[in-house]
């Protein structure tokens, strides 16, 4: 039998991290060698012989964690949000100094979400108006969600490619925030509601019609196949990959 992939999970006591610990433990081709919480020293992942880390921590910690992994030749699969364009550029520079190391930054590991984002980005080429509504549990610390930011960025890029600008909007006066956040010219609205997990709707409007592309994660189990897929594929993709779609053949 082939050697099992030695994996460390960072943020192991959190909502996502604790699911990831169970998923890695249940995967026949993986071995959980370390599970770190907020106060644990990162050196433990090196001592444990990890070749892969799964980072599911907080926006303030993830950049340091990933830097540590890359500098130690450890591949990283990252679900944590907070990766701005500037942070990604710094990471690209770091990875250029460590050829052979792979990092996946995946704003969303749920396959349905990845597909919904890809469909919405393509569909936005054909509609005059597009807005995003993301809906999450109220314990989430960031808004808008990383998924919504990525969706907005892809929508903006697609619309620019076909010469479409922002959506029409005659608003002249508003209460601050009433029209949501502006992400690359796309309006993003964030709902926080007890009972929710992670949900997103992309609303696309044209004369006399509307297309709604909605994805729902009802349980964090929805993210785990993507986490495991990321671990299995990351070493084959040296350098930085943003979005799980980079490892999938979506044919879009």
Ligand X SMILES: NC(=O)C1=CN([C@@H]2O[C@H](COP(=O)(O)OP(=O)(O)OC[C@H]3O[C@@H](n4cnc5c(N)ncnc54)[C@H](O)[C@@H]3O)[C@@H](O)[C@H]2O)C=CC1
Task: Compute how many residues bind ligand LZUJQKHR; rule: CB under 6 A.
Answer: 9
167 binds ligand LZUJQKHR (CB under 6 A): no
69 binds ligand LZUJQKHR (CB under 6 A): no
56 binds ligand X (CB under 6 A): yes
127 among the known binding-site residues?
Answer: no
Task: From the list ligand LZUJQKHR, ligand X, none, pick the one residue 14 interacts with, judged by a Cβ distance below 5 to 8 Å according to partner type.
Answer: ligand X
For this structure, is 140 an active site residue?
yes
Active site residue: 72, 98, 140, 237, which one?
140
For this structure, is 122 an active site residue?
no
Task: From the list ligand LZUJQKHR, ligand X, none, pick the one residue 241 interacts with, judged by a Cβ distance below 5 to 8 Å according to partner type.
Answer: none
The pair of structure tokens assigned to 169 is 């909007």
190 binds ligand X (CB under 6 A): no
Compute the least distance from the CB of residue 108 to ligand LZUJQKHR, in Å.
5
Buried b (16+ CB within 10 A) or exposed e, 123-133: bbbebeebbbb
Contact indicator for 120, 155 with CB cutoff of 8 Å: yes
98 binds ligand LZUJQKHR (CB under 6 A): no
Compute the least distance from the CB of residue 84 to ligand LZUJQKHR, in Å.
13
Contact indicator for 242, 252 with CB cutoff of 8 Å: no
Residue ranges that bind ligand LZUJQKHR, judged by CB under 6 A: 81, 107-108, 136, 140, 145-147, 198
């Amino acid at each position: 039998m082939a050697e099992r992939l030695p994996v460390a999970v960072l943020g192991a006591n959190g909502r996502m991290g604790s699911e990831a610990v169970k998923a890695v433990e249940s995967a026949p081709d993986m071995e959980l060698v370390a599970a770190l919480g907020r106060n644990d020293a990162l050196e433990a992942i090196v001592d444990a012989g990890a070749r892969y880390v799964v980072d599911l921590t907080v926006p303030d910690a993830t950049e340091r964690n990933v830097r540590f992994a890359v500098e130690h030749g450890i591949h990283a699969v990252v679900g944590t949000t907070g990766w701005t364009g500037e942070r990604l550029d710094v990471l690209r520079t770091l990875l250029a100094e460590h050829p052979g190391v792979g990092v996946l930054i995946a704003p969303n590991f749920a396959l349905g979400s990845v597909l919904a984002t890809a469909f919405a980005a393509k569909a936005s080429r054909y509609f005059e108006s597009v807005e995003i509504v993301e809906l999450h549990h109220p314990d989430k610390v960031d808004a808008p969600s990383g998924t919504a930011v990525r969706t907005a960025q892809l929508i903006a890029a697609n619309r620019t490619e076909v010469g479409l600008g922002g959506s029409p909007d005659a608003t002249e006066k508003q209460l601050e925030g009433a029209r949501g956040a502006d992400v690359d010219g796309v309006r993003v609205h964030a709902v926080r509601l007890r009972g929710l997990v992670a949900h997103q709707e992309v609303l696309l409007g044209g004369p006399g019609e509307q297309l709604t592309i909605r994805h729902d994660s009802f349980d964090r189990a929805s993210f785990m196949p993507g986490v495991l897929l990321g671990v299995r594929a990351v070493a084959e993709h040296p350098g930085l990959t943003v979005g799980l779609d980079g490892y999938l053949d979506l044919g879009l």
